[in-house]
Amino acid sequence: MLAIDVQQLRKQFKVQKNREGLKGALKDLFKREHTEVTAVKDISFGIPQGEICGYIGENGAGKSTTIKMLTGILVPTSGKLLVNGYVPYKDREKFVQEIGVVFGQRSQLWWDIGVIESFRLLRKVYRVDETDFRGRLDELVETLQLQELLNRPVRKLSLGQRMRCELVAALLHNPSILFLDEPTIGLDIVVKTEIREFLKKLNREQGTTILLTTHDLQDIEALCSRVIMLDDGRIIYDGGLDELKSRWGKGREIVFQFTEPATLSEVSAYTAELAVRWTMENDVTARVWIPKEMNVSDVLSRVVGRKEISDIKIIETNTDEIVREIYQSGSADSPRDLSALTGAGEAKEEKPAVAAGTGADKP
Amino acid sequence: MTSAYLDFIRMRFLMMLAYRVNYYSGIIIYAINIGAYYFLWKAIFGEAETLQGFTVIQMSTYVAVSWMARAFYFNNLDREISNEIVDGSVAVQMIRPYSYLLVKLMQGFGEGLFRLLLFMIPGMIVVSLIFPLELPTDPMQWLVFFAMLWFSFLINSQLNILTGLCAFFFENSQGIMSMKRIMVDLLSGVVVPIAFFPGWAIAVMNWLPFQAITYLPSSVFTGRIQGADAWNALLVQVVWTVALIVPILLVWRAARRRLFVQGG
């Protein structure tokens, strides 16, 4: 059974238009003009139980709007939506009993009271049995090391402490699906790692389905077997992270640092018969892009010995760069090469599109 | 689940206790108001024995009990709801398995309960020592009054909730909120008892919910409405409480459809 089943989901907002100037303001007084903004444009995807799925995209791509529809906060304009077998906005009170939500930018704890008071209140709100509550709380407090925070008021917690408490608050009622909207935003690396480890454990031991949005791709790399990438309200990629990497990370790059100045034509001549591309960073630094099929040693052997080298660096494309490139091109369908990626200013080569991953929604 | 709602009452009560400075300043404001209105009405009465059927003592009692009742039913639910909508934290409320509006009502009740116990009752005792008041002697009158006070709270909170929900539809609902506030103070009879309005205005006000907030309970308390009429007044309140549920549900439903959570 799919934990989350989304078909042709769409959300439109009416946004008030403010006309310019005094005249416009007066006109607005009597008749407001509205513009329709479509935040989510007919997306479809399904997430099976027990999966950790990353939901990424630029700011304003529609991630949060989707999460808000999935959690029953927003009512979709059209489309089919089934989470845990419920239509979220219809049976909201029953539905939310089985999900947990963490908004990185909003607290769901009560600001003025102690952490433990908040938890106790949530126990009542979610009608959790006292013994279940005790057991779960002890376990969560143990794993997230909250012992000494429990009696502090929420407003006196640091962001990292608060976020760990938010996680506990979202999990006290043992939800089968956990929605995380930018859970690691603004956190330091230690807390980030802790939270990632915790989520992995949760998924492994309890089989909790997790859907998370993030801007931190290390979250995705650490946690997700699958990513859904959103751009301008449409899904541009849906599939495994490895696949995304192998499809997009088409090559490596070597940076040579020469002891004496070199020119582009000079270094290009060394590898004239190979399909590589050279760029000069400055007089003594040259970069060469190598397609994935080719061995790095082929290039190295041709350069080494012909010119004196002070340093060599081999660079593998990382996810950050891949994703940045996809955001910029607005599509995951047309692969690019590494030279375009590093911003060397070369014209991008158009290559035939590779078939999109499983279930990708082609615009 | 009921215990969760009760907890919201308790929590708000404790929170009010924690922010005691507001409470002290509130006492001073109410004391000034009651005193000012007492002397104002005394000046208006002048030599007259009665005005519109009010004796001076009845009038002082009316002023005192109206302001003390206001302490109980008054809350800022409109502002709270509107703020939560504007800053987007209403989203967090929607992911909890409870009724947001009911929780708000409970919080308002916690606030009212706090003021009833620590403000209204002691305040009433102090006021009755300073000014010549005529308190009801019939226990039934007290009972009906307290029942009516509860409905005053409900009706006023419902109007507040309705006003607060307007924030879903307008970018800025400040104007609506202050308009509502003035309308409640003026038309409910806190400032001027409804009997003092011109005939046509009284006819209009009889068809509005505001009189049920202050004028009816205070009239029962001062003995201007008695016997079967008192029960009628209570009935009017019940009818308004039930009737106001309809627009709230309609607005809430419409709001859910066009809910626009600010800040992405």
Q: Residue A27: in which H helix or E strand, if any?
A: helix A21-30
Instruction: Please write the tens of the pLDDT for every residue from A270-318.
Output: 888 888 888 888 888 988 888 877 888 888 888 888 888 889 888 877 7
Q: Taking CB atoms and an 8 Å limit, are A113 and B3 in contact across chains?
A: no
Taking 80 as the threshold, does the pLDDT of residue A331 lie above it?
no
- Res. A179 pLDDT band, cuts 50 70 90: very high
More confident of the two residues A249 and A148 = A148
Distance CA B185, CA B213 (A): 10
Question: Rounded CA gap, A257 and B99, in Å?
Answer: 66
B7 at interface of A, judged by CB pairs closer than 8 A = yes
Q: Where are the beta strands (DSSP E) in chain A?
A: 2-17, 33-48, 52-57, 78-83, 99-103, 177-181, 209-213, 226-231, 234-240, 252-258, 277-280, 285-290, 309-316
Chain A neighbors of B84, CB-CB under 8 A: none
- Cα separation, B5 vs A244, in Å, equals 49
Of A60, A65, A106, the CB nearest to B92: A106
Q: Give the span between the Cα atoms of B182 and A259, in whole angstroms.
A: 82
- The residue ranking higher by pLDDT, A17 or A57, is A57
pLDDT category of residue A359 using cuts at 50, 70 and 90:
very low
| Amino acid letter for position B196 | F
Q: Which one of A29, A68, A181 makes the best mutation probe of the B interface by having the most chain B beta carbons within 10 Å?
A: A68
Of A328, A39, A228, nearest to B264 (Cα)?
A39
Question: Closest-CA residue in chain B for A59?
Answer: B264
Mutate one of B11, B14, B87, B94 to test the A interface: name it (highest A CB count within 10 A). Answer: B94
Distance (Å) from the alpha carbon of B176 to chain A's nearest alpha carbon: 15
**Residue A352 scores a pLDDT above 50:** no
Over 90: is that where the pLDDT of A112 sits? no
Beta bridge partners of B165: none
Q: Does B17 touch chain A (CB under 8 A)?
A: no
pLDDT over 90 (residue B11): no
For residue B5, the chain A residue with the least C-alpha distance is A125
Residues in chain B closer than 8 A to A74 (CB atoms): 259, 261
Query: CB B91 to CB A121 under 8 A?
Result: no
Contact between chains at A14 and B99 (C-beta distance less than 8 A): no
**B261: which chain A residues are within 8 Å (Cβ-Cβ)?**
64, 68, 73-74
Task: Please provide the average confidence, as pLDDT, over all residues in chain A.
Answer: 83
Q: Is the dihedral of CA B105, B111, B114, B115 positive or negative?
A: negative
* E strand or H helix that includes residue A342: none
Sheet holding A33-48, edge to edge: A33-48, A2-17, A78-83
Beta strands A2-17 and A33-48 are: antiparallel
Contact yes or no for B15 and A64 at CB 8 A: no
Chain segment B180-213, per-residue pLDDT in tens: 999 998 899 888 899 899 999 999 999 999 999 9
> Cα–Cα distance between B141 and B134 in angstroms, integer?
13
With an 8 Å Cβ cutoff, are B98 and A93 in contact? Answer: yes
Is the pLDDT assigned to residue A177 strictly greater than 80? yes
Residue A63 vs residue A363, higher pLDDT:
A63
Question: Is A121 an interface residue toward B (CB < 8 Å)?
Answer: yes
| Residue A103 to residue B97, Cβ atoms within 8 A | no
CB contact under 8 A, A68 and B261: yes
**A127 part of contact set with chain B, CB < 8 Å:** yes
> Which pLDDT value is given to residue B130?
85
Mean of the pLDDT values across residues B125-154?
90
Q: Which chain A residues have a beta carbon less than 8 Å from that of B1?
A: 124-125, 127
Q: What pLDDT score was predicted for residue A253?
A: 83
pLDDT in tens, A121-144: 999 999 999 999 999 999 999 888
* pLDDT digits 0-9 by tens, B232-244: 999 999 999 999 9
> If 0-12 CB within 10 Å is exposed, 13-18 middle and 19+ buried, where does residue A112 land?
middle
Question: Are A192 and A183 contacting, i.e. CB atoms less than 8 angstroms apart?
Answer: no
Q: What is the pLDDT of residues A79-93, one digit of tens each?
A: 999 999 999 988 888
Q: Which of B7, B97, B258 sits opposite A14 (nearest CB)?
A: B258
B34 closest CA partner among B46, B22, B42: B42
Q: Could you tell me the pLDDT band of residue B30, with boundaries at 50, 70 and 90?
A: confident
Per-residue pLDDT at B1: 63
Token digits of residue B164: 């607060």
CB contact under 8 A, B7 and A121: yes
Average pLDDT for B54-69: 90
- Whether residue A14 contacts residue A35, with contact meaning beta carbons closer than 8 Å, is answered with yes
Any chain A CB within 8 A of the CB of B122?
no
CA neighbor of B165 nearest in space, from B208, B212, B101:
B101
User: How would CATH label the architecture of A250-341?
Assistant: 2-Layer Sandwich (3.30)
In sequence order, the 6+-apart residues with CB closer than 8 A to the CB of B198 are none
Residue A337 has pLDDT above 70, yes or no: no
| Residue A358 pLDDT class (50, 70, 90 cuts) | very low
Question: Cβ contacts (< 8 Å) between B17 and chain A: which residues?
Answer: none
pLDDT for B259 equals: 64
Mean pLDDT on A164-189: 91
CB contact under 8 A, A126 and B97: yes
A106 contacts in chain B (CB < 8 Å): 88-89, 91-92
Give the whole-angstrom CA distance, residue A101 versus residue A108: 9
DSSP state of A114: B
B264 and A113 within 8 Å at the Cβ level: the answer is: no
Write out the two tokens for A203.
């998924």
**B-chain residues near A71 (CB < 8 A):** 94-95
Per-residue confidence (pLDDT) for residue B132, from 0 to 100: 84
| A133 inside 8 A of chain B by CB | no
Q: Is B253 on the interface with A (CB under 8 A)?
A: no
Q: Does B264 touch chain A (CB under 8 A)?
A: yes
Q: Where do the domains of chain A lie?
A: 2-245, 250-341
Q: Does B86 touch chain A (CB under 8 A)?
A: no
CA distance B256 to chain A (A): 7
Specify the range with the lowest mean pLDDT, choosing from A262-271, B17-26, B136-145, B219-228: B17-26
Whole-angstrom Cα distance, residue A300 to residue A295?
A: 9
Sheet containing A234-240, strands listed edge to edge, beginning at the edge strand earlier in sequence: A99-103, A177-181, A209-213, A52-57, A226-231, A234-240
**Mean pLDDT value across residues A259-277:** 85
- Pairwise CA distance, residues A277 & B66, whole Å: 86
- pTM of this prediction? 0.81
- B218, B144 in Cβ contact below 8 A? no
Q: What is the separation of C-alpha B174 from the centre of its chain, rounded to a whole number of angstroms?
A: 19
Which letter does DSSP use for residue A155 in this model?
A: G
Question: Is 3.30.2320.80 the CATH classification of the domain at A2-245?
Answer: no
C-beta separation of A202 from A175 below 8 A: no
Interface check for A87 against chain B (CB to CB < 8 A): the answer is no
SS3 content of chain A, % helix, strand, coil (to 5): 35, 30, 35
What is the per-residue pLDDT for A362? 38
Tell which wins on pLDDT, A357 or A232.
A232
Residue A117 contacts by C-beta under 8 Å, 6 or more apart in sequence?
Answer: A110, B11
Which of A73, A94, A121 is the closest to B94 by Cβ?
A: A73
Please calculate the CA angle B95-B100-B105 and round it to the nearest 5 degrees: 155
Our measurement of the distance from residue A201's CA atom to the centroid of its chain's CA atoms, rounded to an integer in Å, reads 20
Least CB–CB distance from A124: residue in B3, B256, B258: B3
Q: What is the pLDDT of residue B264?
A: 42
Query: What gap in Å lies between CA B34 and CA B129, rounded to an integer?
Result: 13
Evaluate if residue A340 carries a pLDDT over 60: no
